[in-house]
Structure 1
Amino acid sequence: MSERRRPATRTDHENFCITEGWAERKRATGKRGTHHVNYEFALPDGRILYTRISHPVDRTGHGPSIWSHILRDQLAVTAEEFWACVEDKVLPDRQELQVPAETIPVGIVRVLIVEAHVPEAQVQAMTKAEAIQRLAEFYTTGR
């Protein structure tokens, strides 16, 4: 069960962005916007998160509905991760993108599944070398 916390303020929101290393977005002219402070953050998976904090950045709180939207859609963290970052400077665990060491080219996958009628699950379990071997077998024997 999560502990009861005070509502998050605009200052907390900005402290989170600063602590995690978000970059402040400026207008094309290089100036800050007049109504919001905008931040962006590039994730390891290639997505870019955007958040905006209304002026003035102060102790004004966010309503529960807007706050859940900010956490989920703009900051992409849980409330626990947010507060750990703001209060204890613990950065959220943003997993590095795991790229498979060796992938099977899509053309080989297509031929094995569509033409050689190898079940998709079996193809997914193959290494690249096994897939190439199976493709060579299909081309030489027709099976």
Structure 2
Amino acid sequence: MRHPQPTRQAHEKFCRVEEWTRVRDARGRTGTHHVTYELSLKDGRILRTRISHPVDRTTYGARIWGHILRDQLEVTDDEFWACARDRIRPDRGEPVVPLDALPADLVHLLITRVGVDETTVAAMTKDEAVARVNDYWMGRD
């Protein structure tokens, strides 16, 4: 897919949409202003990217843009533009909790107090799990 020329403005928007943390503003000897952003990942790594300011429509060259995507943002060009233009955040491999997942304290109660084995608990719906605990507390189990 063909994308527009990458700009500092798009880079900044990507960081805002994905909720990177702004950690540093710096002025160099030439007066150039840089802003550094960080993103903490679930695996413990911290990504860093730096954007020269002012954020304007100045474009990045192909080599520097490839470096930013690969080494700083760790996304593909398609993922970058989906985030910057369409607000679709990149998949960082974070686990998604199913809507019908049993709460951890309910699972713990079923296994340790009620005596239900893990395989049976894993196959239960939330309604079944709650009913089983209610039966236990009412002495019907």
2:131 maps to none
1:91 maps to 89
1:112 maps to none
2:3 maps to 5
1:33 maps to 26
Task: State the Cα distance separating 1:76 from its structure 2 match.
Answer: 0.4
Structure 1 Cα separation of the partners of residues 11 and 23 of structure 2 = 15
Task: State the Cα distance separating 1:96 from its structure 2 match.
Answer: 2.4
The CA RMSD measured in Å over matched residues stands at: 1.1
Aligned length, in residue pairs: 90
Structure 1 unaligned segments of length 5 or more: list them: 27-31, 98-143
2:77 maps to 79
Is the partner of 1:33 in helix, strand or coil?
strand
Give a deviation string over 1:72-106, Cα, whole Å, max 9, x none. Answer: 00000000100000111000001127xxxxxxxxx
Q: Which aligned segments of 4 or more residues in structure 1 are displaced greater than 2 angstroms?
A: none
Give a deviation string over 1:118-138, Cα, whole Å, max 9, x none. Answer: xxxxxxxxxxxxxxxxxxxxx
Task: State the Cα distance separating 1:70 from its structure 2 match.
Answer: 0.1
Structure 1 Cα separation of the partners of residues 94 and 13 of structure 2 = 23
Give a deviation string over 1:23-44, Cα, whole Å, max 9, x none. Answer: 0012xxxxx2122011000011
Decide which of 21, 24, 46 is 2:22's aligned counterpart: 24
TM-score, length-scaled by structure 1:
0.61
Q: Which has the higher strand share?
A: 2
Decide which of 49, 55, 58 is 1:57's aligned counterpart: 55
Structure 1 Cα separation of the partners of residues 2 and 77 of structure 2 = 11
Structure 1 Cα separation of the partners of residues 91 and 73 of structure 2 = 12
Percent of residue pairs bearing the same amino acid type:
58
Is the partner of 1:93 in helix, strand or coil?
coil
Structure 2 Cα separation of the partners of residues 63 and 84 of structure 1 = 20
Decide which of 23, 27, 45 is 1:47's aligned counterpart: 45
